[in-house]
Structure 1
Amino acid sequence: MALWMLAWVAIVILPACQARLVPRVSFPSGSSGRLLSRFDSPTIGNTTTLLLSHDGETLFVGARDAVISLDVSQPGVMELKRKLDWFPTTKDLDDCSMKGKVKTDCPNFIRVLQFLNSTHMYTCGTFAFSPRCTYIDSQTFNLVFGPSGKPDEGRGRCPYDPYQRNTAIIVGERDSLQRAGGDGELYTGTVADYRGNRPVISRYLSEGNHIDLKLDDTLGWLEDPTFISSTFIPSEEKVYFFFSEEGREYDFIEKFTVSRIAQVCTSDIGGQRTLQRRWTTFSKAQLLCQAEKELPYNVLQDIVTLPPPDGASDDETLFYGIFTSQWSVNSGKSAVCAFRLGDIKKIFSGNYKVLNRDTLRWSTRVQEKVANPGECGLHNASDSDLRFVKENFLADESVLPIGKGLALVSPDQSYSKITAQRTRGANGKDYTVLLLLTESGFLHKVVLLDQGPHIIEEVQVFQQPQAVKNLLLSISKGMVFVGTSDGVLGVPTSNCSYYWSCAECVLSRDPFCAWDPNRKACADVTSIPADAGQDVDGANVVEMCKVTTITPRAKFGQHKPPTESCPPGEQVLVSLNEVVTLRCPEASKLASVHWERPNSRISPELYLQRSDGSLRFLATPVTLGHYLCFSTESGYQQTLALYTVKQNSGGASTGTGAGAGAGAALTTPATTPTRPSSQSTVKGVGPGPKTEAPKPTLFWRRPDATITFNTDRKFTGVNRPRLDQDVEKLEPAEGRSYFQELVAVSLMLALALCVILMGALYALRQKCRGKSGPQVCPRRDSEAGSLREQDPLTRSPSPTAAATGNKRKGLAQNGLVQNGLVHGKAPSAKNGSPRGSNGHLPNTPM
């Protein structure tokens, strides 16, 4: 039982305690701090298939019923050059509807767009659930049909369903053009039937001694796969396919998804008798993205190839993939794992599993290998060798990630697309930068460090969820293009000019950016000749910038030029009893913000620091004076804002020390923008009537209002502090609401009802006790005086009996008769206190 508990803690509790990755800087859509280039058109939709020209000047985009070319030669500009319409006929659309498909899914969605050679492109589209392929002249941007004079059949080259994922790559491109279409060969992973039940990996457009190949449909080489990506490694002469599928080698009750990598040789021409026109070099292995003592992230979402560094072996080629999990314990999480080509080759050269055709179960082969599955050149092998590779195509071991762990895991972000780049920092060290697209529409820029990943920034690229998206990185242009259903965006990979100081430039930990001491600006590290201020690993500001303090920003949301001198502080004029809001510009989401006052303390009884870092308080003689906002990040503290709060000349007398007035903490909520405001000052100033020095008041803290009582205890009602015009402008989302007054009136009404109810219950209780008490008949004084009392312990006459009898009449008149002091016999008195027969006070429960 104890072992099960430990396993449950390791699987469930520990992953939940993972640190949350927070982007240091966030840029919402339309932010002036991150300028993007964008193309959209009301007549062009589903611009999700991207292809950049070799010179980087033109971006070709496959859209719905069209292929377009965009001019991206100028930074920040994306203009339409040409549009090539290619849409189904009315008959094709009617046939699609007759098949039971939704009309909006019947247009021609371009899903394949590749360069065939230097003069032509090859493209395929769903074409009303009847895939078609054709050629495009890159110079004239016109459609070019084959010898038949019409588009080619697209079955096996393009999916039928526009929402079904596929992959395609052209290999063997040559400059010579012998016919329309050239000499490139198309390698695809998709489905080959209308229902999507026949997944295939195929080769088309073969020439010479090459022939078109595909997988044998009857072998079960693929188990309901979802194709993700493909890449070509020239040194290996292999094309690698990445996909997810059902793992039949695992004997689970429910369907278990696994991530795969498969390989085929470009020199494969099929067997002579066995496996004719079929792959002889196909083999696959599992990609295992799993952290220690955790369930695996088994569903592959996207993967990208990162070439090796200059001078390194091709075995150092890395594949960075996004993985999610089908297990509820990891629901909503995304993990990034990196796999090395050398490790993949080792797995493919090892042992293979064998499938028992009778029991449909997999097992590890124990006998000697007749041939090496996946080895190039097997098309000349014997029939027995080909039968062996035909049954042994699943590698026995799984490919483990680098370091046998996760490169990144995000517990609260669902990533869908990835691209990667290797760049060199100012210290000569290479850093890997990942660009990750979230399902919520943000592009995360992440640098992988030895101590863990660091999210440099996030940029919102679209606001509505997108079903099909694409990322295309251009290292030469320093741009990443995002294809969405609504348009195409160009996002620069670096944003160095955003950081206004040396400290901010170093704290960003962006390997693309460094501080130029000569220009006094944050710039691209490649443009700085020497002494570049950059510390990606440690963010040591003091060492890089040779400073210990830094002046505040002059204006919120605006970046001060290096030559501009910073003012000593912003002056804020207020009236007494006005709400003051001092805003601190958000330099980083990773920094902690705090406020200070010279020679004074910011107590929580008088001040409220909100989650956005702003400080709120009520203007009183005590709260006037100087305020400083600091941020602390990576052990470095910098001043972000200085204020001097003064009283209006038309108001009451000012006071900066401990005055006679009393302040109160105000907790009125406000909606503030996520980024710093563009106003230079934020004031709590209102017209306000002239008043004398306020009387001392007593405040009752409540989230939305302040109930004020005068010192003479006369109730004056609910007084909601009036927000000045500047604050109202900064917080337009609040609007006018009477919720505070409603809550206050409800509380007072409830209090009054409670008082009335308690009074009624008390009166009723007194009445009931009067009816249930013992009734004593009036006696004459002589009879009253003749009564003899006995001590309850000795049963002897009490010496105080006479005195008690003389006072019985007075006690009866005072109502004490009902309490048992006069009823036949009187209780004993000790030390002057009347007691009952049990030794306790009368009517007092034990």
Structure 2
Amino acid sequence: MMRCDDYRWQSEEVVTLCLQTLAEITVTHQPPITRKHPESLSTSVPRRIPPVGTTMAVRLLFVLVLLGHLEVSVTKLVPRLSFPLGSPGRSITMFSSPDVQNTTMLSLSDDNNTLLVGARDSVLSLDVSRTGVMEMKSKLDWSPSSKQLDDCSMKGKNKADCHNFIRVLNSLNDTHVYACGTHAFSPLCTYIDLEKIHQTAELNGKSHDGRGRCPYDPYQKNTAIAVAGELYTGTVADYRGNRPVISRYLSQGNHADLKLDDTMGWLDEPTFVSSEFIPSEDKVYVFFSEVGREYEFLDKIVVSRVAQVCTSDIGGQRTLQRRWTTFAKAQVLCKNRNQLPYNVILDIVSLPPPEGASEDEMLFYGIFGSQWFTGQSAVCTFQLGDIKTVFAGNYKVLNRDTLRWGSKVQDKMASPGQCGLHNASDTTLRFVKDNFLADQAIPPASHGLTMVSPDRYTNIAAQRVRGASGKHYDVLFLLTESGFLHKTVLLETGPRIIEEIQVFKNPQSVKNILLSDTKGVVFVGFSEGVAQVPVSDCSFYSSCAECVLARDPFCGWDRSQMGCVAVSPDRDDLGQDVDEGNVMGVCTGPKSRSGLDKSTAAAQLVLVSLNKAVTLQCQGASRLSTLDWHLPSGRSHDDYLWLPGGGLQFLATPDAVGNYTCYSDENGHRQTVVVYSVKLKSSLTPRGFNPALSQGLPLTTSPRRPPLRRPTEARPTTKGGALTSGPMGTTAIHIGAGSTESGDEQEVQQKNRNLTTLKQPQLIEGDSSPNVGQLPLANEKTYYRELVTVSVLLSLTLCALILTALYAVRPRARGLQICPSVEPGSASQERTPLSGDPPPSVLCKQNGQPQDKSLAVSNGALRSSNGHLPNTPYE
């Protein structure tokens, strides 16, 4: 169970409710079994175990209490500009090779011309003397032998994990670098001679045992830093990873190699993150996260820590021989008031104090995650002065019999963590041995979170930049799991993400990030290689307004050259406003016009078909800008469907033609983005239609059209422009200077799928005009096939009617015969009486009339089936 009186990172209300809930439940924990103190088993106090149902009820109740006091105050920070991988606005230099993988460590030489890269089975030397160029100068092979790989695999390890992953790469001096690798789960270390690194493809010196300096498992985190030729490390010292140690190796002079005492409680399942050396303090700070045993709860609670050791420590004479006498640790607290803390530290970096300021103003920027909530991260800032104050205060008391912490004020026999205790008495050393956990936690410098992001950050780099006005700004470079580098400036009003740059597409493990102030680049080491990202590219901003609205402390507007240039100490006449971004205050005068004013530019001609849906797209100046439209006279906002991304969709009717102007507003600055001139195509105008309608004149009557509704959500901004074809034949023209991102296209198309009242909307291509800008339109849908089909069917029907009429007239044509000319006494005349039929001359017409009607119908072939004449009554 938890101890409410020690649960200090919650509010008083939570503690009060916790005490009320747990008042009737008493749980006494049995100390854990340790190899160091087996005698503690006999002195353990029997514990009373509550029923399972009671335990679960308390657990659920406490979780509900915590969730009830969690205030959701995360303000979503949106990057102003986004540059996908390969965008011309941000160039990234990539180094990759088929035989180079897992670039886990990065180290830059003192002259900033050579980048050492620790990769799998090799150490690389890259030439980075020229900006935008990374060329491999040499590659040192350091791979395990086939037998070592087989032995590692026989131990049950994955063969892919048995390679040599470089985990330590530190410069000891101007000539040598110290490197350590996992080497098939048998850590090895070696010296690399920088003068001979380009002369051979193999290591110069012999390898030696790396236990305690490098982890066995490539997935275990570690930290290492070199100070005056000595190596300070935080890692695990055994094959199973159960012996965490903070050690010093390569000791010089009267120094001896030191490590932590194996006594239980010094470190508890730590995950090492980073280490920093403070010269004025003569101390090395090690940052890590571990299980917080001072909080007795049903589940393990992870806390963030900072530990310190003095570089002058040589260990005790009798007590704590070859052990640290100056080791102390304290909790690092990243939280807001009345909120759950971000308790897992992920990465941290130091930033020296401003010039002339006290060293106590040295800052530490850290990334923290949450044990309870995943998917987001926070950034907290800590001051060196606060860390020193906590370490100089009271310490908790560890009861060695019960292994419980107490926070009562004790008589201090010494100050734990104080340098120079190696000559102290055994009593003093035993006191610092049992009292190494500071009683108070280190609070954030701003008494709250510096920033919270919905993206999960993994690595951080920090730089202090001098603006054009001489004011300094802290800029953070934060790398997300999805592969975007966020450049963030910290202002008095809050953090602002200036831009995000995509470094890689596929999610992969990022091992290191290194910032070079002098070169102005950020090196990112990931699984596939190394990326070099410039800290800024001021030439991307083509106008004074864009340069000022960026609020980038690296960039300022040069009024003489009419361009956005990098800020330098010798230029104090550059236009810049990082704090406010006031365009009118900077961009004044004819030489500083904001630009991007397209109110007088040629309109984009859009010819449409009557009663077809039209989609007009508009690209905002940035993700932080809002869009607005100026509509033709007589039209209201309810006549349009406002699309996500700032577009408009409407039905092409005679009263909808005219000019449409899209405006972008950001921080009080308004600019025209694009102008459309929508007209009806004359070839498809219905008969009797007044041509004056194409000029936007009002109508007395208008054809009925399906009602269009305006969505209730706010009109978001758009990010790009291109010619796309949406669902239902909708053709969307995206106007703008940027490129259209696939995410926006899918969002617009998804919105168009909900248009159930519009049928076959499209734009029609029209005649080009030399004075009017026109875009090529997508192919519209025609009815050519339907017309051909109907024509063929009509022709077949007419043919069938004609044939039916001819067949009906055929019997009458047989009865009307022309009398042949028969000579008297001819053979035909003689044969006539033999057939029983009247002679042909009797049936022939004379002057068109039959001579004898009775004879004309006497032929038996003309009688009906009843033996009578057709159409005559019978009795």
Q: TM-score, normalised by structure 1?
A: 0.75
**1:619 correspondence with 2:662:** no
**1:392 correspondence with 2:435:** yes
Match of 1:721 in 2: 761
Equivalent residue letter for 1:48: T
Whether the aligned pair in 1 keeps the contact of 2:618 and 2:718 (CA below 8 Å) is no
**1:169 correspondence with 2:225:** yes
What are the equivalent positions in structure 2 for 1:34-49 lying under 5 Å apart? Answer: 34-49=90-105
Whether the aligned pair in 2 keeps the contact of 1:25 and 1:457 (CA below 8 Å) is yes
Equivalent residue letter for 2:442: V
**Displacement of 1:723:** 6.3
**Displacement of 1:679:** 7.2
Indicate how the Cα distance of structure 1 residues 388 and 730 shifts in structure 2: closer, same or farther if over 3 A, else same: farther
SS at match of 2:575: coil
The structure 2 residue matched to 1:658, chosen from 698, 703, 706, is 698
Aligned-partner Cα distance in 2 for 1:675–1:730: 21
The structure 2 residue matched to 1:324, chosen from 360, 369, 372, is 369
**Displacement of 1:485:** 0.7
Aligned-partner Cα distance in 1 for 2:597–2:524: 33
Match of 2:677 in 1: 644
CA RMSD of aligned residues (A): 3.4
Whether the aligned pair in 1 keeps the contact of 2:103 and 2:118 (CA below 8 Å) is yes
The structure 2 residue matched to 1:455, chosen from 497, 512, 516, is 497
Whether the aligned pair in 1 keeps the contact of 2:613 and 2:652 (CA below 8 Å) is yes
Whether the aligned pair in 2 keeps the contact of 1:578 and 1:724 (CA below 8 Å) is no
Instruction: Provide Cα deviations, 1:513-541, integer angstroms capped at 9, x if missing partner.
Output: 12221122122122783432211111111
**1:85 correspondence with 2:141:** yes
**1:501 correspondence with 2:546:** no
Aligned-partner Cα distance in 2 for 1:668–1:365: 65
Aligned-partner Cα distance in 1 for 2:568–2:182: 44
Indicate how the Cα distance of structure 1 residues 677 and 73 shifts in structure 2: closer, same or farther if over 3 A, else same: farther
Whether the aligned pair in 1 keeps the contact of 2:763 and 2:778 (CA below 8 Å) is no
Aligned-partner Cα distance in 2 for 1:21–1:493: 20
Match of 1:586 in 2: 620
Whether the aligned pair in 2 keeps the contact of 1:628 and 1:642 (CA below 8 Å) is yes
What are the equivalent positions in structure 2 for 1:215-614 lying under 5 Å apart? Answer: 215-328=260-373, 331-364=374-407, 366-410=409-453, 412-526=454-568, 529-546=571-588, 550-552=594-596, 567-605=601-639, 607-614=640-647
Equivalent residue letter for 2:403: L
Aligned-partner Cα distance in 2 for 1:729–1:233: 64
Indicate how the Cα distance of structure 1 residues 507 and 364 shifts in structure 2: closer, same or farther if over 3 A, else same: same
Whether the aligned pair in 1 keeps the contact of 2:638 and 2:709 (CA below 8 Å) is no
**Displacement of 1:123:** 0.6
Aligned-partner Cα distance in 2 for 1:706–1:365: 72
Aligned-partner Cα distance in 2 for 1:499–1:193: 55
Query: Any gaps of 5 or more consecutive residues in structure 1?
Result: 173-183, 555-564, 687-700, 709-718, 737-846
What are the equivalent positions in structure 2 for 1:659-678 lying under 5 Å apart? Answer: 659=699, 660-661=702-703, 675-677=719-721
SS at match of 2:397: strand
**Displacement of 1:62:** 0.8
Indicate how the Cα distance of structure 1 residues 199 and 376 shifts in structure 2: closer, same or farther if over 3 A, else same: same
Aligned-partner Cα distance in 1 for 2:416–2:366: 25
Whether the aligned pair in 1 keeps the contact of 2:608 and 2:764 (CA below 8 Å) is no
Whether the aligned pair in 2 keeps the contact of 1:595 and 1:602 (CA below 8 Å) is no
**Displacement of 1:31:** 1.6
Size of the alignment, in residue pairs? Answer: 680
Indicate how the Cα distance of structure 1 residues 5 and 400 shifts in structure 2: closer, same or farther if over 3 A, else same: closer
Instruction: Provide Cα deviations, 1:336-378, integer angstroms capped at 9, x if missing partner.
Output: 1111111111111111112111011011353321111111111
Indicate how the Cα distance of structure 1 residues 332 and 136 shifts in structure 2: closer, same or farther if over 3 A, else same: same
SS at match of 1:394: coil
**Displacement of 1:454:** 0.9
Aligned-partner Cα distance in 2 for 1:347–1:5: 23
Aligned-partner Cα distance in 1 for 2:704–2:543: 40
SS at match of 2:126: strand
Query: Any gaps of 5 or more consecutive residues in structure 2?
Result: 1-11, 18-63, 686-690, 734-750, 767-773, 782-875
Q: Calculate percent identity across the aligned residue pairs.
A: 58
Aligned-partner Cα distance in 2 for 1:341–1:546: 43
Indicate how the Cα distance of structure 1 residues 233 and 17 shifts in structure 2: closer, same or farther if over 3 A, else same: closer
SS at match of 1:395: coil
Indicate how the Cα distance of structure 1 residues 70 and 294 shifts in structure 2: closer, same or farther if over 3 A, else same: same
Whether the aligned pair in 1 keeps the contact of 2:625 and 2:717 (CA below 8 Å) is no
SS at match of 2:761: coil
Indicate how the Cα distance of structure 1 residues 594 and 530 shifts in structure 2: closer, same or farther if over 3 A, else same: same
Aligned-partner Cα distance in 1 for 2:384–2:777: 54
Aligned-partner Cα distance in 1 for 2:439–2:557: 51
Equivalent residue letter for 2:474: T
**Displacement of 1:574:** 3.5
**1:26 correspondence with 2:82:** yes
SS at match of 1:275: coil
Instruction: Provide Cα deviations, 1:60-84, integer angstroms capped at 9, x if missing partner.
Output: 1111111112222222222222211
**Displacement of 1:685:** 9.5
Aligned-partner Cα distance in 1 for 2:151–2:236: 20
Which is higher, the Rg of structure 1 or of structure 2? Answer: 2
Whether the aligned pair in 1 keeps the contact of 2:616 and 2:732 (CA below 8 Å) is no
**1:209 correspondence with 2:254:** yes
Equivalent residue letter for 1:50: L
Q: TM-score, normalised by structure 2?
A: 0.73
SS at match of 1:505: helix
Match of 2:819 in 1: none
Whether the aligned pair in 2 keeps the contact of 1:574 and 1:684 (CA below 8 Å) is no
SS at match of 1:418: strand
Equivalent residue letter for 1:215: L
Aligned-partner Cα distance in 2 for 1:677–1:702: 17
Match of 2:661 in 1: 628
**Displacement of 1:85:** 1.3
Indicate how the Cα distance of structure 1 residues 103 and 16 shifts in structure 2: closer, same or farther if over 3 A, else same: same
**Displacement of 1:225:** 0.3
Aligned-partner Cα distance in 2 for 1:657–1:498: 43
SS at match of 1:632: strand
Match of 1:127 in 2: 183
Aligned-partner Cα distance in 2 for 1:79–1:406: 41
Equivalent residue letter for 2:209: E
Instruction: Provide Cα deviations, 1:157-209, integer angstroms capped at 9, x if missing partner.
Output: 1111111110001110xxxxxxxxxxx11110000011000000011111221
Instruction: Provide Cα deviations, 1:363-411, integer angstroms capped at 9, x if missing partner.
Output: 135332111111111111121111111111111111111121111112x
Whether the aligned pair in 1 keeps the contact of 2:663 and 2:672 (CA below 8 Å) is yes
Equivalent residue letter for 1:643: Y
SS at match of 1:583: strand
